Amino acid sequence: MTDSIFLLSAAEIEALMLSAKVAIFCTLAICVPGIAVAWLLAKKSFLGKSLLDSVVHLPLVLPPVVPGFLLLILLGSQGLIGKWLQQAFGITVAFTWVGAVIASAVMAFPLMVRSARLAISQVDSGLEAAAQSLGARPLRVFFTVTLPLAMPGIITGLILAFSRSLGEFGATITFVGNVEGETRTLPLAIYTYTQIPDGDMAAIRLVVISMVIALGALMLSDILERRATRRIGRGVRPSHD
């Protein structure tokens, strides 16, 4: 009896593993561009900055089905880019796990950018100027001063993005559908189980797993952030004491 309640079925394990894979690749994919866009928004002023800012944040305020549908139009097998990718390289992203990564990356990107941007803008520009006065070129300053000092916020951003990716539903189901073993991630699996008779128990198991993962991610984020903050010293700007 207990076995049947707590033991995951093969399909459930598959959904869990797929979710983990999608979330990990999504986080990896947005890490570098997220930091780059965050740096642009935090430190630079340029024409079209507010437009870039708005576009990056759009997925946060749109119903997820909208970005999902736009992705379908662009990257779907009949889409503008999707068709070209298919013909030129034989690559299909629609209805594949790679498509699920793209969908959740689009949705998680603004969370990453927001968090990293705040962290980068809080790095004292006086320290960056001091580093330059010591002979470091701007790129070196970024990697040796800005990035380490912004690390707590960047870690938070990555974990938020990871969690968002695990929970992504609307854009994913719109763009890549609900294909078992390929695009049926944890939330999609839960949804599927709620739609079939006798699926409640399986749905509940997956709900509990989702909650445990989410809680774990938040706690891990807290620990990592605290550790990173300790590494860079108590105050980011040591002055007037």
Partner 1 sequence: MIDIDLQRKQGTFSLHAKCVITEPVVGLFGPSGAGKSTLLGMIAGLIRPNAGHFILDGECLFDSMRGINVPLYKRHIGVVFQDSRLFPHLDVRDNLNYGFNLLDGKNQRLGFKQIIELLEIGHLLTQKPHQLSGGEKQRVALGRALLISPRLLLLDEPLASLDVRLKRQILPFLRRVKDEINLPMIYVSHAIDEILYLTTQIAMLNAGKILTVGSFQEVIRDERALALAYASGLENVLHAQVLAHYPADGYTVAKIGAQPIHVPLVNVPVGRMIPLSIAASNIALSKQKIDGVTIQNQLFATVTAIQRVEKGVLVTLDVGCLLIAEVSAKAISDMQIELGASLYCLIKTQSISLVSN
Chain residues that interact with partner 1, rule: CB under 8 A = 124, 126-127, 129-138, 140, 144-145, 148-149, 231-241
Terminal CA-to-CA distance of the chain, rounded, Å?
Answer: 66
- Cβ closer to partner 1: 148 or 199? 148
- Cβ closer to partner 1: 49 or 237? 237
How is residue 109 written in tokens?
């990107």
Shortest Cβ distance from residue 51 to partner 1 (Å)? Answer: 27
- Cβ closer to partner 1: 144 or 195? 144
- Cβ closer to partner 1: 49 or 230? 230
10 Å Cβ neighbour count for 104? 31
Shortest Cβ distance from residue 34 to partner 1 (Å)? Answer: 21
Shortest Cβ distance from residue 236 to partner 1 (Å)? Answer: 6
Strands (E) located in the chain? none
Query: Cα angle at 37 between 225 and 146, to 5 degrees?
Result: 50
Shortest Cβ distance from residue 237 to partner 1 (Å)? Answer: 7
DSSP 9: P
Residue 61: which residues within 8 A CB-CB, separation 6 or more?
none
Query: Exposed (0-12), middle (13-18) or buried (19+): which is 92, by Cβ within 10 Å?
Result: middle
- Cβ closer to partner 1: 92 or 132? 132
Shortest Cβ distance from residue 153 to partner 1 (Å)? Answer: 14
- Cβ closer to partner 1: 63 or 138? 138
Asked whether 110 and 57 are in contact (CB, 8 A), the reply is yes
d(CA 109, CA 60): 9
Element (H or E) spanning 53, and its range?
A: helix 49-61
Shortest Cβ distance from residue 150 to partner 1 (Å)? Answer: 10
Asked whether 117 and 42 are in contact (CB, 8 A), the reply is yes
